[in-house]
Amino acid sequence: MEMNVILILHLLVLPMALSPAVCLSAGGSNDLHPLVLIPGSGGNQLEARLTKDYKPSSLLCALSATRKGKDGWFRLWFDPTVLVPALTRCFAERMTLYYHAALDDYRNAPGVLTRVPCFGSTQGLVYLDPHLKHITEYMATLVNSLEQLGYIDGENLFGAPYDFRYGLAAEGHPSKVGTQYLEDLKELIESASASNGGKPVILLSHSLGGLFALQLLVRSTSSWRQKYVKHLLTLSAPWAGTVQEMLTFASGYTLGIPIVDPLLVRAEQRSSESNQWLLPSPKVFGHMPLVVSGNKSYSAWDMLEFMEDIGFEEGVYPYKTRVLPMTDKFEEPGVPVTCVVGSGVETPETLFYGEDGFDVQPEVVYGDGDGTVNLVSLLALESEWAGSANQDLKVIRVPGVSHTSILKDKSALKEIVAEICSINAITASSLVFRA
């Protein structure tokens, strides 16, 4: 609580220290470019409703299914019952996706309807559960710092939450939910621009949100990008995936919460379309051993064999055809990009499994990164676009800042706010010059 108070006080002073006048027009009124926040995986609320087709795996899951809100909808994520071991399985079966070969696409579990609340607003991003603010804060501190600059939710500040279990697919493959999200995001950007005098929009993303934002840009026409997008500012973007994701697929991952059995959520985590997108890219990670089991090792180039050996054969085909082709290139979006990344935090680099196999958590050798994403992935665009005459890229490193603390750490927020002011100052300066 003390740290929160200190941080809030710092943010109240911060805009003055960063000369907020650069974010104002010559006439003194706000001339901010509208800003759209795009969260990372697990970074917004999800709601669900169960129909008669839902088949609970146990009596306990059936009883917990009677917990309903208005019209039968209830919060699926974040639901604190996931921390109750007896109810973890119920949570997992409702979050699980299924790949349908006939559709070549993913769908919810039978009888589970889901929706994303608060699209267009930041309300679904600030806390994952408004009733548990002290343990489910996500973007609250970041949003507060934006408000100190003059941003107002629903006026020039917008949120673009999504069903983060779903991802996108390579050209020629359907991705109903992910593609619809890009369409909704595109409409939100156009609306935000129109309601703010036609000014192009700043896209501010965290983690997985950066991958969605980049895909939106490269899948849009150059004329659309130039008209509607001022700048892409990404935080902790895992451009080339993470070794941590291989641990998730092999053994399950519970964010270090000891009371939750990772094996109870492993199948659900494997089913996530977006989790496959976050596996290490062969192009970037190369042939370096990432997982070692006995006398066998797996690099990013061995991902198909890795999936088979951990018992996830059903994931091989969709990964090979839908996901892998998206990881072999990083197309330039044609709008300025700034990447703010943490570094100097111990990050899983190599996983060692013993004779007990993949059902037991591995020994971990750590390397550099932000605690979740490896540095080579965080800096992938810098390596890929080096020397490009057509793409404006800036990378800001914030030492000692982790993957999620980048949203509230004082030094990180200072860099983020300064960059947003700088982006806005381009227009403001021209206004002053013309006056």
Active site residues per annotation: 207, 370, 403
Residue 253 sits at φ, ψ, to 5 deg, of -140, 130
Angstrom CA distances, 163 to 281, 350, 425, stand at: 23, 30, 34
* Cβ proximity of 264 and 88 under 8 Å: yes
Q: Among all chains, which residue has been given the structure tokens 């983690």?
A: 207
Residue 252 sits at φ, ψ, to 5 deg, of 80, 150
Q: How many CA atoms lie within 13 A of 251 on its CB side?
A: 23
3 state SS of 239:
coil
d(CA 129, CA 70): 17
- Angle, CA of 115, 120 and 122, to the nearest 5°: 95
User: Which residues contact residue 289 at a Cβ distance below 8 angstroms, ignoring those fewer than 6 apart?
Assistant: 297, 298, 299, 350
Angstrom CA distances, 338 to 1, 208, 237, 387, stand at: 32, 15, 11, 16
Is 303 exposed, middle or buried, given 0-12, 13-18 or 19+ CB atoms closer than 10 A? Answer: buried
User: Which residues contact residue 197 at a Cβ distance below 8 angstroms, ignoring those fewer than 6 apart?
Assistant: none
d(CA 390, CA 50): 49
Nearest to 242 by CA among 103, 73, 369: 369
Q: Among all chains, which residue has been given the structure tokens 């951990």?
A: 310
d(CA 14, CA 144): 11
Angstrom CA distances, 220 to 154, 186, 225, stand at: 25, 9, 7
* Cβ proximity of 365 and 350 under 8 Å: yes
3 state SS of 197:
coil
**DSSP 8-state secondary structure symbol assigned to residue 320:** I
